[in-house]
Amino acid sequence: MHVAPAEAQDPIKINSERLSDRVLLTWACDYFQGTNMAVVVTQDGLVIIDTGLSPSTVRRQRDLVERELGRSDFRYLINTHMHNDHAFANEVFPEATVVGHGSAVVALQREVDLIPELIERLRGGRERYGEWAAATSPDSADGKQAREGVAAFDVGIADLEAGIETRFPTVTSGDHHTLSLGDVRLELFDFTGFHSDSDILILIPEERMLFTGDVFWGGNLPLLREMTAGEFQRLMDNWKTILETAPDLETIVPGHSDVPLTVDGFREMYEYLSRLWADVQAAREEGTPLVMFLMRNIFKERYPAVADYTYIRRDYNLHQHNIYMLWQLEDR
């Protein structure tokens, strides 16, 4: 990890790491969760993947990128999805063409409409972190996280109150979209079945690298959204295509600085849902009642590859939720 010396005394540190010769990753804070902003270097310009909530913070990240790379020819900005903490700072790259999911414009407008509520949530978070900071030693890990959180909330609130300049995608991807930039190809896949209605995964075959946004949290079962059978099949087909296109996949870059996700985990989650879907289809064809299927389908026994994954969160059974979602697909 490299921390830019010029930022060393700021309460919100701007960090960077070279993932490869072509890919630079940057994020804010050491202890408080930061959004990963990646920069892909190509012969035809720089490609940004995600920005963040605070334009003030992302401007500092842009400055770091320009210093690190010695260039500023930003060509494209791709949002993995349109949640505020990934797209509100798009304005920092006015020269870049913004690319997003086919539903991205509607999804981002929805986020903009909720800014008053977001400010109130951030104020609540700022108050909680302020109390935490007051109760902890500044030199402890908790104290550092609390103080970084206070600083991040303050900047975010100030930026939103001052007003952001929303930059909507002008290029939207469908099921599968390719951006070719000389020596680098970015493959964009619709992946709306888990986190939001505007998720895309971005594969860079030349780098054996995949960007997943907020779709997955390593070590946790994926949680299906309500969808049709056709939408689920498209999701699984795209997942399979990614794995087949990049059998030598080496690196997965999630949406935040503190989210672990491995290539093995990405494959294991695909195998889990593929097997669960086959089990659900077989049970329905046999006329097995849902209650009986739930009783017989023992998670840790039936799906050993993900047996150690967290499948109960806040007393909610993620595995049973996925069964309910899949069971209803053929009824929609």
Task: Please give the pLDDT value at position 71.
Answer: 96
Tokens of 295: 């009783």
CATH architecture of structural domain 2-111+166-214 = 4-Layer Sandwich (3.60)
327 CB contacts (<8 Å, ≥6 apart)? 280, 284, 290, 293
Per DSSP, 310 falls in state B
Alpha carbon distance 256, 279 (integer Å)? 33
Task: Locate the DSSP E strands across 66-195.
Answer: 74-78, 97-101, 171-173, 176-181, 184-190
Task: Please give the pLDDT value at position 9.
Answer: 54
Task: Please give the pLDDT value at position 193.
Answer: 94
Task: Please give the pLDDT value at position 332.
Answer: 59
Task: Please give the pLDDT value at position 315.
Answer: 87
98, 79 contact by CB (below 8 A): yes
Task: Locate the DSSP E strands across the chain.
Answer: 2-3, 14-18, 23-28, 37-42, 45-49, 74-78, 97-101, 171-173, 176-181, 184-190, 200-204, 209-213, 251-254, 312-313, 316-317
Claim: this prediction has a pTM higher than 0.85: yes
Q: Which residues of the chain register pLDDT less than 70?
A: 1-9, 331-332
Task: Please give the pLDDT value at position 7.
Answer: 41
Alpha carbon distance 195, 215 (integer Å)? 5
Phi, psi of 38, deg, nearest 5: -105, 150
Q: pLDDT of 215-254, one tens digit each?
A: 998 889 999 999 999 999 999 999 999 999 999 999 999 9
Nearest Cα neighbor of 25 from 37, 13, 35 is: 37
Q: Which helix (H) or strand (E) holds 208?
A: none
Tokens of 225: 């959204």
